[in-house]
Amino acid sequence: MKDGSPLVDVDPAAAFAPAPPPPLTGVLVEDLAVTPEELDHAATLSGKLLDGRYQVGRRLGEGGMSYVYRAQDAETGATVAVKILLPRLSRDPAAVERLRREATIATRLEHPNVCPILRMGEADRAIYLVMPYLEGEPLSEHETRRGPFAVAEGIPLLVQMCQGLQHAHELQIIHRDLKPENVMLVPDGAGDNGEPRYRAVVMDFGLAKERRTTPEVAKLTATGIVLGTPEFMSPEQIRGKPLDGRSDVYAVGILAFELFTGQLPFSGKSAQETMIARLRQGPAKLRDIRAELPNRLEAVILRCLALDPAERFQSMDELGHAFDGVLATGVLGRLFRR
């Protein structure tokens, strides 16, 4: 269910209690109907001038909530990416206001490993976001094409993600929906072995997303807003509790697990099962899937996935150093081997 859709955070004692599972207080927004005409409009902007400023080019992709186009900024001449949000979002004034506030915050991002929002606007029956255009490939597509990463290839990318997220957290910006689809790999020269080298850029900061929910998931939630994607959400996020940077630490742990194994540490046949598994059972063992992976990598990921945020790494800086220690030798390597 990594389709760009969003979702929803736990009490350690209650998490392992017998059924019935503890109630979730997080909330999902019901999907509002979108007419074929509205969809057609959002999907056919290529060749048009948006808001008198952006010459829209080819469509780069689409998801459950938006279409993304390459465009030319007529004022600056820069090539940008324009994300057209589907009309249902604009029908919820609270969602629009939240998105406007968070987009404004995200304009403060300035780091090589994060992608800021340059502008938010409303025109031609659509809400749009403007971001720098990055020539690259989403991590999700790279994983599908290449398979699980080697440790030496994946660790530097994870460290870069941590550095970008640390910058965001210092600005009080929590991502809340970190997943491979929201990480862009931008070509960055070649390594010593001649293989391509990539820079990881974390995308889509502060973007609230809606998700059409199934009846069984709806029973677990009250009416409202839930941010996140089921497979990558922290236990506290599932519960709808207040979040801090440690929720993103949890998501990095799940992303790292998938990066090196091609599998997720928690599974289920539905969104409900996936979320409940997060609350009631431990993650799969990394080295049960790939026995050649280092013990200390498994230890780092396992700490990220602690049910209690107090038991996780307490900052992205701390997590980044731990990932660095997986490949390190000497004193640092011994420290993280424990």
Residue type, 185: L
CA 318 and chain centroid, separation: 20
Q: Confirm if 84 and 61 have CB atoms less than 8 A apart.
A: no
- Give the span between the Cα atoms of 174 and 177, in whole angstroms: 9
What does the angle CA 153 – CA 156 – CA 157 come to, to the nearest 5 degrees? Answer: 85
- Give the span between the Cα atoms of 304 and 162, in whole angstroms: 12
Q: Which of 9, 177, 204, 248 is catalytic?
A: 177
- Give the span between the Cα atoms of 115 and 113, in whole angstroms: 7
Alpha-helix runs per DSSP H in 73-223: 87-90, 93-106, 139-146, 151-170, 215-218
204 is an active site residue: no
Q: CA 184 → CA 68, 148, 159, distances in Å?
A: 14, 16, 14
Using DSSP's 3-state secondary structure scheme, residue 17 falls into: coil
- Give the span between the Cα atoms of 316 and 223, in whole angstroms: 32
- Give the span between the Cα atoms of 196 and 157, in whole angstroms: 13
Question: Residue 168: which of 119, 114, 120 has the closest Cα?
Answer: 114
Using DSSP's 3-state secondary structure scheme, residue 214 falls into: coil
Q: Confirm if 206 and 117 have CB atoms less than 8 A apart.
A: yes
Question: Residue 237: which of 209, 201, 214 has the closest Cα?
Answer: 209
- Give the span between the Cα atoms of 166 and 322, in whole angstroms: 14
- Give the span between the Cα atoms of 88 and 252, in whole angstroms: 30
Radius of gyration of the chain from its Cα atoms, rounded to whole angstroms: 20
> What residues act catalytically?
177
